[in-house]
């Protein structure tokens, strides 16, 4: 169990390391290694009341006290203004996040293991406390503390009056109020009713982020258990009535899903962790619909991210049926040429704020087919949607999106960020990118070629030719207008006045997509520029340090963080297109595979260590590259998994038509020029 050696635990170490566990329906559990909550988003049970959204922190924490030999030992670690009380991290000896979070506590004459388990896809969690060592029984007191509020809110004693009622054998009920949900908990001890509030719980990360940082938590009483060596005590919490014994059987029979056969022979700790993390981002709604959670703990279900992540989250693990289901669902969501960017947390529906989701959808359809997907489904159901997207964009779509006279993709929604660089403050978009963004024009060219190839597959040769003619017009315009001769790379945006010469990673998509729009003779130059100016050991920066707009620290209040998010922060997910571009430029051999693995190694090390089985959304652009954003990012894990399997391990799933060949380096390009670059 000892993934983390805590033989001499230091508060600063355990408070800085966080864990998160997705429960399969948008719900999650998360805290620090010592279970001292430092965010309002932390909690041992955060339910999805209208899965996968309307998430509420139900069970904030459970404070445990061991009583033996006339002494009491607090296992909890809590922070209040100016005080750490109690300081149970002193008894914490081990923590492991696999296959579920587990803690080992030890004192003189006793050792207790605490496990957190869940029913996949349900709003139910189980805490198990087992006395592993010792010669005499111990008494264990459990103090459950409830928050019962939305994830972006805070609870205060004056806000609500709470009570607890019996709800059957071993079960109690906290009735709903105008502001709080109905909650059930069950146990196998003795319950002592003692309703009281813990006031002024302090969340240090919220204060650092510029938000309110104090909350009151309510406890209905104490669950008292007596444990002999080898015995366990159980505490179940749910938003539904609990059949205690049935729930124990279900939750105790936890198993780690087996790796798909095509990955089994390559399975190691890293690949297993990536597969486990990927599973946690694919969730089910109340009606069984598949969703992709963009990030835990606070990002919602996403549209753009679902399409970016579909190859890594679903195709690489061989989950083609779910990929088909997701593509079918998104095909029905297209409105005026665009597809939704995210699902509202308040369950009011999808929000259409992205210009490129429909283009990522088309790319995912192609990848689905290349991974052995249903050809008749693609040509019969999805191709008409793809053609409609393309035709609508050519005519002028929603969000001020259109294809200009040169065949380039124009985003003209003033003040609204419509690409993946979508941070905004009260002053508007931080990186509005109004005009012709390089990544979206690359996606447009890629979509035209995919539409043509699928039309040919469907026997529609005339339609295919028309799409290829449009693609050629786009290719010529792109290479004429986007090339920045002075910097040997692509402009980031072409607008109606002057091109944006900022060095950004978005140009990678002109090389890495299945149908690259950039002339092959320029691929190595772009790669050299990105590796020289943007690559870090844990991701690709969004601006180079030499740029006056660069912000190397993702820190401070919400405005400061939003200004840094896409103005210097390094994103792990961009290592995926970087590595794919690298392999395309230099071909596949032992040397390039070793370099690809090296490029991914920093994030894979983070996955196994500080990430506790997940990869965060971003890192500081400046060393030592502290993690930031969501603790667990779908894009980060999806692209790491896709790139590792495709580019490093070269695994081809059964039924796949993916070619293992890539274009040779263009004549005149220098492999030595790029491979010799050192990471910043």
Which of helix, strand or coil describes residue 295? strand
Q: Please state which of the ranges 155-169, 174-188, 250-264, 415-429 shows the lowest mean pLDDT.
A: 250-264
**C-alpha atoms less than 13 angstroms from C-alpha of 323 in its C-beta half-sphere:** 30
Q: pLDDT: is 542 or 11 the higher one? A: 542
Spatial separation of the C-alpha atoms in residues 638 and 98, rounded to whole Å: 19
Average model confidence (pLDDT) for the chain? 92
Pairwise CA distance, residues 283 & 124, whole Å:
15
Q: Please say if the pLDDT value at position 86 is more than 60.
A: yes
- How far is Cα 327 from Cα 325, in angstroms, rounded to an integer? 6
pLDDT at 576: 98
pLDDT band at 158 (very low <50, low <70, confident <90, very high): very high
Q: What is the largest CA-CA distance in the chain?
A: 87
The mean pLDDT value for 14-23 works out to: 94
Q: At what angle do helices 575-586 and 634-643 cross, to 10 degrees?
A: 20
* Confidence (pLDDT) at 306: 97
Tokens of 105: 């506590």
**Residue 531: band (very low, low, confident or very high) from pLDDT cuts 50, 70, 90:** very high
590 vs 658 pLDDT, higher one = 590
User: What percentage of the chain reaches a pLDDT higher than 90?
Assistant: 83
CB 510, CB 496: distance < 8 Å: no
> Does the pLDDT at position 587 exceed 50?
yes
pLDDT band at residue 168 using 50, 70 and 90 as cut-offs: confident
Question: What would the pLDDT profile of 538-558 be if each residue is shown by its tens digit?
Answer: 999 999 999 999 999 999 999
User: CA-CA distances (angstroms) from residue 405 to 67, 393, 396, 499, 518?
Assistant: 77, 12, 12, 17, 19
Over residues 368-392, the pLDDT tens digits come to 999 999 999 999 999 999 999 999 9
Predicted local confidence at residue 9, as pLDDT: 53
How many whole angstroms separate alpha carbon 212 and alpha carbon 153?
A: 9
Q: Is the pLDDT of residue 489 over 50?
A: yes
Instruction: Supply the pLDDT for residue 426.
Output: 79
Helices H, strands E: what count in the chain? 19, 37
Rounded distance between C-alpha atoms, residue 384 and residue 407, angstroms: 21
Which residues does residue 117 pair with via DSSP β-bridges, in sequence order?
Answer: 126
d(CA 40, CA 42): 6
Determine the 3-state secondary structure of 336 from DSSP.
coil
pLDDT at 244 over 70: yes
pLDDT of residue 254: 64
Strand partners, 198: 217
Distance, in Å, from the CA atom of 642 to the CA atom of 191, rounded to the nearest integer, reads 49
Cα–Cα distance measured from residue 91 to residue 99, given in angstroms and rounded to the nearest whole number:
22
Predicted confidence band of residue 655 (pLDDT cuts 50, 70, 90): confident
Please report which confidence band the pLDDT of residue 135 belongs to, taking 50, 70 and 90 as the band edges.
Answer: confident
Determine the pLDDT at residue 198: 97
- Sign of the CA dihedral 592, 595, 600, 604? positive
Residue 120 pLDDT class (50, 70, 90 cuts): confident
Domains in the chain (CATH in brackets) are 11-252 (2.70.98), 261-675 (1.50.10.10)
Please compute the mean of the pLDDT values over residues 639-668 and round it to a whole number.
71
Taken in order 357, 358, 362, 365, is the CA torsion positive or negative? positive
Give the 3-state secondary structure of 572-614. HHHHHHHHHHHHHHHCCCHHHHHHHHHHHHHHHHHHHCCCCCC
Q: Is residue 627 within 8 Å of residue 537, measured between CB atoms? A: no
Give the pLDDT confidence score for residue 259 in this predicted structure.
82
Whether 433 contacts 492, CB under 8 Å: yes
- CA angle in degrees (0–180, nearest 5) for 600-603-579: 25
Query: Residue 651: pLDDT above 70?
Result: yes
| Average pLDDT of the residues in 645-666 | 66
| Beta strands at 295-296 and 632-633: parallel, antiparallel or unpaired | antiparallel
C-alpha distances in Å from residue 525, one per residue of 513, 573, 667, 669:
17, 21, 12, 8
Give dist(CA 87, CA 125) in Å, integer. 25
What pTM was estimated for this model as a whole?
0.93
* pLDDT tens profile 171-229: 999 999 999 999 999 999 999 999 999 999 999 999 999 999 999 999 999 999 999 99
pLDDT at 255: 64
- For residue 64, give the 3-state DSSP assignment: strand
pLDDT, residue 8, reads 42
The 3-state DSSP class for residue 379 equals helix
Torsion, Cα 391 397 402 403, to 10 degrees, reads: -10
pLDDT (0 to 100) of residue 650: 93
Confidence of residue 400 (pLDDT cuts 50, 70, 90): confident
Q: Which helix (H) or strand (E) holds 320?
A: helix 320-331
Please check whether residue 480 is in contact with residue 394, taking contact to mean a CB–CB distance below 8 angstroms.
Answer: no
Residue 249's pLDDT is: 86
Mean per-residue pLDDT, 643-662: 75
Across 346-350, 415-419, 498-502, the highest mean pLDDT is recorded for 498-502
């Amino acid at each position: 169990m000892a993934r983390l050696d805590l033989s001499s635990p230091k508060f600063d170490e355990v408070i800085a390391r966080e864990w998160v566990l997705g429960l399969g329906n948008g719900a999650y559990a998360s805290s620090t290694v010592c279970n001292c909550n430092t965010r309002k988003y932390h909690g041992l049970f955060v339910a999805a009341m209208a899965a996968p959204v309307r998430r509420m922190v139900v069970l904030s924490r459970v404070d445990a006290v061991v009583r033996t030999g006339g002494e009491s030992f607090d296992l909890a670690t809590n922070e209040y203004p100016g005080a750490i009380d109690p300081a149970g991290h002193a008894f914490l000896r081990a923590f492991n996040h696999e296959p579920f979070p587990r803690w080992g506590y030890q004192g003189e004459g006793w050792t207790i293991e605490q496990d957190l388990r869940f029913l996949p896809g349900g709003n139910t969690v189980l805490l198990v406390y087992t006395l592993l060592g010792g010669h005499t029984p111990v008494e264990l007191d459990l103090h459950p503390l409830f928050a019962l509020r939305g994830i972006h809110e805070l609870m205060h004693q004056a806000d609500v009056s709470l009570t607890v009622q019996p709800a059957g054998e071993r079960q109690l009920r906290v009735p709903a109020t105008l502001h709080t949900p109905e909650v059930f908990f069950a146990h196998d001890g003795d319950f002592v009713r003692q309703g009281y509030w813990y006031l002024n719980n302090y969340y240090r990360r919220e204060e650092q982020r510029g938000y309110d940082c104090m909350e009151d938590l309510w406890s209905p009483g104490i669950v008292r258990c007596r444990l002999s060596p080898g015995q366990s005590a159980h505490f179940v919490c749910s938003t539904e009535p609990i059949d205690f014994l049935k729930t124990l059987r279900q939750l105790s029979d936890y198993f780690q899903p087996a790796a798909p056969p095509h990955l089994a022979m390559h399975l190691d700790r890293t690949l297993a962790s990536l597969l486990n993390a990927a599973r946690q981002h694919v969730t089910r709604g109340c009606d069984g619909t598949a969703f992709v959670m963009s990030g835990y703990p606070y990002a919602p279900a996403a549209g753009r991210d679902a399409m970016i992540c579909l190859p890594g989250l679903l195709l690489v693990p061989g989950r083609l049926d779910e990929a088909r289901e997701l593509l079918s669902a998104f095909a029905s969501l297209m409105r005026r040429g665009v597809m939704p960017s995210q699902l509202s947390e308040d369950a009011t529906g999808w929000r259409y704020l992205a210009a490129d989701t429909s283009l990522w959808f088309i790319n995912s359809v192609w990848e689905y087919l290349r991974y052995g997907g249903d050809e008749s489904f693609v040509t019969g159901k999805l191709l008409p949607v793809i053609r409609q997207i393309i035709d609508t964009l050519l005519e002028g779509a929603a969000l001020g999106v259109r294809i200009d006279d040169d065949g380039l993709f124009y985003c003209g929604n003033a003040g609204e960020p419509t690409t993946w660089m979508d941070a905004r403050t009260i002053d508007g978009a931080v990186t509005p990118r109004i005009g012709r963004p390089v990544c979206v024009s690359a996606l447009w060219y890629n979509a035209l070629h995919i539409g043509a190839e699928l039309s040919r597959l469907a026997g529609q040769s005339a339609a295919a030719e028309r799409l290829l003619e449009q693609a050629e017009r786009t290719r010529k315009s792109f290479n004429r207008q986007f090339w920045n001769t002075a910097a040997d790379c692509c402009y980031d945006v072409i607008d109606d006045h002057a091109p944006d010469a900022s060095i950004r990673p978005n140009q990678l998509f002109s090389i890495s997509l299945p149908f690259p729009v950039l002339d092959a003779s320029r691929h190595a130059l772009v790669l050299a520029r990105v590796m020289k100016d943007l690559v870090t050991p844990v991701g690709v920066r969004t601006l180079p340090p030499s740029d006056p707009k660069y912000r190397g620290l993702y820190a401070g209040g919400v405005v400061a963080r939003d200004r840094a998010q896409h103005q210097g922060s390094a994103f792990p997910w961009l290592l995926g297109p970087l590595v794919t571009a690298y392999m395309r430029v230099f071909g596949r051999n032992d040397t390039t595979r070793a370099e690809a693995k090296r490029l991914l190694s920093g994030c894979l090390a983070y996955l196994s260590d500080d990430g506790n089985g997940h990869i965060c959304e971003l890192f500081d652009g400046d060393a030592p590259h502290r993690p930031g954003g969501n603790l667990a990012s779908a894009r980060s894990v999806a692209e790491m998994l896709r790139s590792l399997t495709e580019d490093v391990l070269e695994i081809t799933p059964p039924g796949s038509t993916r070619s293992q060949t890539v274009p040779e380096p263009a004549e005149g390009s220098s492999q030595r020029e790029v491979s010799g670059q050192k990471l910043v």
